[in-house]
């Protein structure tokens, strides 16, 4: 029996050794493939950046580069705050037109677009401090007209609270309300759930981007027909390893930013323009989204109380993304506001109209 067992044991050792070698070879091949894909993704991202120059300028703010793009001339200067997770290019359909009237600046908050990511809090106070420093670095003259879309409206409110002497006018475009977390039906529960899910989404997204897998699947580019003249910029911003989900950093601080912005109870005696979505545009909305409409409408109308010199315009056929759906309305009403600040006729203060 002993003599028969020895060949069997030897054969098992031989097979086991072969399997181990095959596993090692397979692991090496997979590792080499992942390394190749990762390096390819880095090279592709660098190539995209080099072939799509970023408009505007860069300045060092608290040790990190920040991007700002100013165009046009004149006073007051319009400063545009984009929505959550949106880069400066959200204003690409508004800024060129409005720049015919005055100087207009859009910029990237940290971790958005071309501004470098940062560690630490991403609440309204922090964002306002960084913006104020960026405007100083860029030599942007005050007075300012602040424009905030969606969550950007919270940062506009906080800026006006901290630096009221610098602000000549305000425009809130489908602005978040400091009270929406608890006023919109089911919003708080959804917000808390998404915060938990975001932790796992971050690691998944990092793996997909860092490994180069997302680029291999063709998910690092946008359809040129949907971004005429801007597809190259968006492709250059996609799948950058250092920027994976860094534009989502403000999400966890949304409640804190809301509380901070809510401390402002009045803009004072300055013009306030409120532009909102069309509440009759409901196609494709979920039941929860539909339940938001009357509350959101009340919050938007109520924001007029922040200034005695306020008026509201409902942008017909526009959803939440008014800067993309109805840039003409924003440009026209902003021109009206600026003309008033220069001594022209007054806007229809106190009114709510549909355009």
- Please say if the pLDDT value at position 17 is more than 80: no
Report the predicted TM-score, pTM, of the whole model to 2 decimal places: 0.88
The b-or-e profile of 289-298 (16+ CB within 10 A means b, else e) is: eeebbebbee
Q: What is the mean pLDDT of residues 113-128?
A: 95
**Which region among 75-84, 177-186, 230-239 has the lowest average model confidence (pLDDT)?**
230-239
Pick the closest to residue 62 from 113, 124, 136 (CA basis): 136
214 CB contacts (<8 Å, ≥6 apart)? Answer: 41, 208, 220, 239
For strand 77-81 and strand 104-107, is the pairing parallel, antiparallel, or unpaired? parallel
Q: What is the pLDDT of residue 46?
A: 80
Reported as a pLDDT band with limits 50, 70 and 90, residue 1 is very low
Among 33-37, 89-93, 208-212, where is mean pLDDT lowest? 33-37
Tokens describing residue 153: 């409206």
Q: What is the pLDDT of residue 190?
A: 93
Spatial distance between the Cα atoms of 131 and 128, rounded to a whole number of angstroms: 5
The fourth-level CATH superfamily of domain 57-191+242-354 is Alpha/Beta hydrolase fold, catalytic domain (3.40.50.1820)
pLDDT above 70 covers a percentage of the chain that reads: 91
pLDDT for position 15: 52
Query: What is the predicted pLDDT for the residue at 164?
Result: 98
Is the previous residue joined to 76 through a cis bond, with omega within 30 degrees of 0?
yes
Confidence of residue 5 (pLDDT cuts 50, 70, 90): low
CB under 8 A, 24+ apart: contacts of 235-239: 235/48, 235/52, 236/45, 236/48, 236/49, 236/51, 236/52, 236/54, 237/87, 237/113, 237/114, 238/45, 238/48, 239/41, 239/44, 239/45, 239/209, 239/214, 239/215
Angle between helices 152-162 and 124-137 (to 10 degrees): 70
**Backbone Cα Rg of the chain:** 26
pLDDT digits (tens, 9 = 90+) for 305-319: 999 999 999 999 999
Q: At residue 25, does pLDDT exceed 90?
A: no
Q: Which of 35-44, 111-120, 218-227, 251-260 has the lowest mean pLDDT?
A: 35-44
pLDDT per residue over 192-235, tens digit each? 999 888 878 888 888 888 788 788 888 888 888 888 888 888 88
pLDDT at 152: 98
Task: Report pLDDT for 8.
Answer: 59
């Amino acid at each position: 029996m002993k003599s028969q067992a020895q060949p069997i044991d030897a054969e098992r050792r031989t097979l086991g050794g072969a399997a181990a070698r095959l596993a090692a070879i397979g692991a090496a091949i997979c590792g080499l493939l992942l390394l190749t894909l990762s390096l390819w993704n880095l090279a592709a991202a660098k190539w995209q950046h080099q072939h799509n120059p970023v408009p505007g300028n860069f300045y060092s703010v608290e040790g990190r580069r920040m991007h700002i793009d100013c165009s046009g001339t004149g006073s007051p200067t319009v400063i545009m705050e984009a929505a959550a997770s949106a880069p400066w290019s959200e204003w690409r359909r508004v800024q060129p037109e409005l720049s015919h009237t005055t100087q207009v600046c859009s910029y990237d908050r940290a971790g958005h677009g071309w501004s470098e990511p940062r560690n630490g809090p991403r609440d309204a106070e922090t964002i306002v401090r960084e913006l104020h420093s960026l405007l100083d670095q860029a030599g942007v003259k005050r007075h300012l007209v602040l424009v905030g879309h969606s969550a950007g409206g919270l940062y506009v409110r906080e800026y006006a609270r901290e630096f009221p002497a610098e602000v000549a006018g305000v425009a809130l475009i489908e602005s978040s309300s400091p009270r929406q977390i608890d006023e919109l039906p089911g919003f708080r529960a959804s917000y808390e759930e998404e915060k938990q899910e975001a932790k796992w989404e971050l690691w998944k997204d990092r793996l997909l981007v860092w490994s180069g897998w997302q680029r291999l699947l063709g998910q690092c580019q946008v359809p040129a027909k949907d971004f005429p003249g801007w597809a190259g910029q968006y492709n250059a911003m996609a799948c950058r390893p250092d920027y994976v989900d860094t534009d989502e950093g403000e999400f966890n601080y949304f409640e804190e930013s809301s509380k901070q912005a809510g401390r402002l109870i009045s803009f004072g005696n300055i013009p306030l323009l409120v532009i909102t979505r069309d509440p009759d545009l409901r196609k494709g909305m979920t039941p929860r989204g539909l339940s938001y409409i009357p509350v959101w409408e009340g919050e938007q109308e109520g924001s007029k109380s922040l200034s005695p010199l306020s008026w509201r315009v409902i942008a017909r056929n526009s959803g939440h993304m008014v800067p993309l759906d109805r840039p003409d309305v924003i440009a026209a009403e902003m021109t009206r506001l600026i003309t008033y600040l220069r001594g022209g006729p007054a806007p229809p203060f106190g009114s709510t109209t549909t355009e």
